[in-house]
Structure 1
C-alpha cells in the first residue's frame, strides 16, 4: 500500500492516471542492501563521513515533517493527529490533487429506496461459500479526473443498480464507470456523496444485478472472523478475498481533521480496496472498507478499517433521499494550535493559527485568511482547535459565531456564519 515516508506513489492506477495523488501512499520501508567493504580503500573514511551527514540531514527532515504533521488540524472538525506517534491513517486509494470539483451528472433523489440490513443468520458459511455468494456484488470503480484518475471498489446495493463506494474514490471526478463481474462497463450517475463519512452512492442503468446482503455491524464482537473482497492495486487483481478477524469495534480514528468511528480488522487491505466489502462469517457485508494504517518509520501489519453498516445505512439513506447529508455545520477553516513557544518564535500570540480558509465559506467572505490567529470565539479564550469545536457543538448551520483575530499586530472582530459541510465538500 495513502520505499519510505518521502516517496509518494499513485494508488489504484486508474485509466489515464497522471498527476499528484490526493492521498499519499506510503509503501513499506525496505532496508538498503549492505555494501561490501573494500579492504585498504582510502575512500572509506570520506564515504563514512558523507554517510553520517546524510543520516543527520534525513533525521532532521523526518523530525521536521513529523512536527508539521502533528500540528495540523481542521477547525470545525477535530485536530489532525496523523494517527499520533509514528504512524498515520490513510484512505486506501487516491484521487488527484488537481481533480478539483466533483462534477458528475446527478441521479434523481427521493426515490424511497433505503438500505436493508438483515438479522444474523444461524448458519456459518465456508470461505468458498462466502466468496461465491458475494463476488457478483463486488464491482470495479473507474473515476476519471482532470489530470488523472483513480480506481476503487464498490458494492451492489440493489438489483436495479444502486452502488455503494467511498467518497474519496470518486471525489473530484467528472466521469465514473462501474465494471461488473461480466466485464460490462456502465456509466454511473452520482446519487449523493458525503466527504465527512467517506461514502457515496452511485446509480447505473442496469437490472437483475446480484446485490449483497448487508448485516448488522452492531452484532460484531472482537475475535469474529472477517473477510474483505475488493480490487487491491486496481482491476488486474480484482475480486481478491483476504481474511482476518475483527480486532476492534467502535475505533475512533482521525484523518484530515475528521474523526470516524470504524471497525478495525486484520484482513489485508491495499490501494484499490476502498469501497469494498468487509464480511462476517455468514457472508453478510458488515462494513465498507476505507482505510489502513501505515508507518513512516517502520512496518505496520494487519491494521485495516471499515465503515460499519450502522453508519452506512444512516448515511446511504440520507444520500438517496436528499443527495447529501444534513446536520454537519462547519466553519471552513484549517487550523492548528499556536502555543506560547511557537507564538514567541514567530512573533505572534497564543491561539489557533489559521492555515487555510475554504473557498466559498463564510469565513472567506468575512475576511478571515491564512496567517490569522484566533484568540477568542464567542467571547471565550481559545488555545486549540478542540476549544473551537466545543463551542461550535451547540450551534447549527446558519448560526453566527464571533471571533477575535490577531493579524499584523492588531486585533479584529469577525462574525462567521456556520455552513452545512456538504455545501463546501463539492
Structure 2
C-alpha cells in the first residue's frame, strides 16, 4: 500500500472559496504571524501616462469597474456522521443534538453581461453548494442560478435576476506582456470591494502541481483567500483575468507573498461560450500517448536536445492517426508553441476545442517533419459493460486534471450501480483505476482501447482514498 502523492502546498480554491467570513480576526492574526519583511512583495509604481494621457489616479477607472465585482456566498448542508446516532436510545435521550451542519464560504465573482445577469466565478467557489447568494456592490443580495462549470479550468457561470447591473468588458489576455500594470478586485478575508495593484509577472505559467489545465497569468497584485473568482483588470478597466489562486509555501492563511495566479480572460471566454451553448465543456484531443525523453532516448533518436513529447502510442481513428503521426515521433512544438515535455503537450491539448486544426513540429528518425492534425472530441464517460461484462454497472470518467497534474494517471470510477456485477466484485464510486491486466492506459480513451481484445482475467489496481490494492473482477 502506498499513500496518495503529496500535493504541493498552495493557496488554492478550497482555501479561497472556503474562506469563512465569521473568522476574519483569526485569519488576520495568522497572516500577521506568518508575514515577515523578507516575504513582503515590492510595491509597483504606476506609469506616468497611459495612451498619452497623464495618470494621476486609478480612481476613475475603478469607479467604473468595481460595481461589476460581486461577493459570492455559498451554503452547503453537511450531514454529521456520529456513530452514537445509530442507537435509537441515544437519539431519544438527545433529540436536540444537530445531525447536520451548514458550511458557509465566501468568494468573488464578476458580472460579464449586465442584460442577462451572467456572473463569472471559480468552480471551486460554488462547488457542491446547495445555495448561492450574490451580494452586489450597492448592497443588494440575490439568489443565483447555476448555469454550468468546468472544474479542470476552474471556471463557473451563474446568473442573477437583477436590474441596473454593471458589467466588465472582456479584454484580450493574449495581448498581456510581462510588466503590464494590473489591478485585482475582490473580497479578501471577507473585506468586500478591495483593490490591490501590481504588474504581470509572467504569462503562460504552467507546471504547478495540484491545479487543472494551466495557462495562468502570474501577478504580484495581492491575492488572498476570498479573492477567488474576482477580477484582474488592466488600466483600461477591461477584464483580463479571473483570480484563482496564490502560492505560499506556508499555506494560504499565511497571506500573500506576491505570487498570484489568474485564469486568462480569453480562456474564460471560450469556456463560457460552451457553457452557455451546451452547459458542458467539450475538449479536443490528438488521440496519442506520450512520455518524456531521457538523455539516452534522445541520443538514440538522433536529437540534439532532451526536450519534446515522445509518442508511444497512436490510437486508431484519432486525429493523430489521420495526420500520419507514428509511435517514435517526437513532438517539439504545436502551433508554434514550444513543447518541452509530455505534460506540456497534454496541457496544451486540454485547452483546445474540438475541431481545431493544429500544426505539429515533429522529429522522425532525427529529421524535422511538419504535420497537420485536427483535434477530435474526448470521450466524457464510458459505461463499463461496453468494455467488458465484468465491469457492468460501473461508469468511468477521466481523472480530474488537478489529480493528473499531481502525478496520477488512469481513470476514475464515477459511479457503480447497486447490486451490479462491478459492485459485487467490490468496485466503488470514487475509486481510481491505476492499472489493469487489460493493458497499458493513461486516460479514458486508452482505457477503452486497452480492452481490444478482452483479457481472460481482469484484475484492477485501484487507489481508494490513500490506499492502493488489487481488485479481481469476477
Give the TM-score, by structure 1 length.
0.57
* 1:168 counterpart SS class: helix
C-alpha offsets along residues 83-106 of structure 1, whole Å, 9 cap, x if unaligned?
A: 4xxx4352252349xxxxxxxxxx
Please say if 1:225 is aligned against 2:181: yes
Mapping 1:46-195, distance limit 5 Å: 71=5, 82-83=7-8, 87-91=9-13, 92-95=15-18, 122=51, 126-146=57-77, 147-160=102-115, 161-195=117-151
Q: CA deviation at 1:140?
A: 0.9
Do the aligned partners of residues 406 and 128 (structure 1) sit closer, same or farther apart at CA in structure 2, a change above 3 Å counting?
closer
* TM-score (ref. length: structure 2): 0.52
Is 1:277 matched with 2:256?
no
> 1:165: Cα distance to partner?
0.8
Q: Is residue 2:272 matched to residue 1:212? A: no
Q: What SS does structure 1 have at the residue aligned with 2:266?
A: helix
Cα offset for 1:158?
1.2
Superposition map of 1:10-409 within 5 A: 71=5, 82-83=7-8, 87-91=9-13, 92-95=15-18, 122=51, 126-146=57-77, 147-160=102-115, 161-234=117-190, 237-254=191-208, 256=210, 258-296=212-250, 301-327=257-283, 329=380, 331=397, 357-359=413-415, 368=427, 374-376=434-436, 379-380=439-440, 388-389=442-443, 392=444, 399=448, 401-402=450-451, 404-406=459-461
Tell me by how many angstroms 1:260 deviates: 2.3
1:195 Cα shift?
A: 1.4
Whole-angstrom distance in 2 between the partners of 1:163 and 1:127: 24
Measure, in 1, the Cα distance between the counterparts of 2:260 and 2:421.
36
Q: Is the 8 A contact 2:422 2:473 kept in 1?
A: no
Distance 1:226 1:336 in 2: 31
C-alpha separation in 2, matches of 1:242 and 1:413: 55
How many angstroms apart in 2 are the aligned matches of 1:317 and 1:169?
Answer: 20
- In structure 1, distance between residues paired with 2:170 and 2:160: 20
8 Å contact 1:265–1:305 — kept in the other structure?
Answer: yes
**Per the alignment, do residues 406 and 152 of structure 1 end up closer, same or farther by CA in structure 2, a change over 3 Å counting?**
closer
Deviations 1:144-200 (A, max 9, x none): 111211111111111221111111111111111111111011111111112111111
Looking at structure 1, the residues matched to 233 and 197 of structure 2 have their Cα atoms a distance apart, in angstroms, of 9
Q: Does the aligned pair in 2 maintain the 1:138–1:155 contact within 8 Å?
A: yes
Mapped to 2, the partners of 1:377 and 1:148 lie a distance apart of: 42
Q: CA deviation at 1:311?
A: 0.7
Task: Give the distance between the partners of 1:268 and 1:359, measured in 2 at CA.
Answer: 40
CA distance in 1, matches of 2:3, 2:258: 27
Q: Which structure 2 segments of 5+ residues have no match?
A: 20-49, 78-101, 284-377, 382-396, 452-457, 463-467
Q: Higher relative contact order at CA 8 Å, sep ≥6: structure 1 or structure 2?
A: 1
Deviation at 1:139, TM superposition (A): 0.8
Distance, in Å, in 2 between the alignment partners of 1:152 and 1:363 is 43
Supply the distance in 1 between the matched residues of 2:245 and 2:421 (Cα, whole angstroms).
31
Aligned to 1:34: none
What is the CA distance between 1:222 and its match in structure 2?
0.9
Unaligned 5+ segments in structure 1 are: 1-66, 73-81, 97-120, 338-350, 381-386, 415-426
Please tell me whether Structure 1 or Structure 2 has the larger radius of gyration of its CA atoms: 2
Alignment partners' CA distance in 2, 1:218 and 1:352: 30
Query: Displacement of 1:137 after TM fit?
Result: 0.5
Distance 1:388 1:200 in 2: 27
The alpha-carbon distance between structure 1 residues 332 and 409, as it changes in their structure 2 partners (threshold 3 A), is closer
Aligned to 1:105: none
RMSD: 3.9
Structure 1: how far apart are the matches of 2:399 and 2:186? 35
Count how many residue pairs are aligned between Structure 1 and Structure 2: 285
Q: Alpha-carbon deviation of 1:326? A: 2.4
Q: Secondary structure at the match of 2:206?
A: strand
2:151 & 2:265 partners in 1: Cα distance?
17
Q: Give the SS at the match of 1:181.
A: coil
Counterpart contact for 1:352–1:373, Cα < 8 Å = no
Q: Tell me, in whole angstroms, the C-alpha distance in 2 between the residues paired with 1:177 and 1:156.
A: 14
Distance 1:377 1:324, change over 3 A: farther
Cα gap change, 1:260/1:246 in structure 2, threshold over 3 Å: closer, same or farther?
same
1:209 positional shift: 1.1
Distance 1:265 1:377, change over 3 A: farther
| Distance of aligned partners of 1:157 and 1:359 in 2 relative to their CA distance in 1, 3 Å threshold | same
CA drift at 1:374 = 4.1
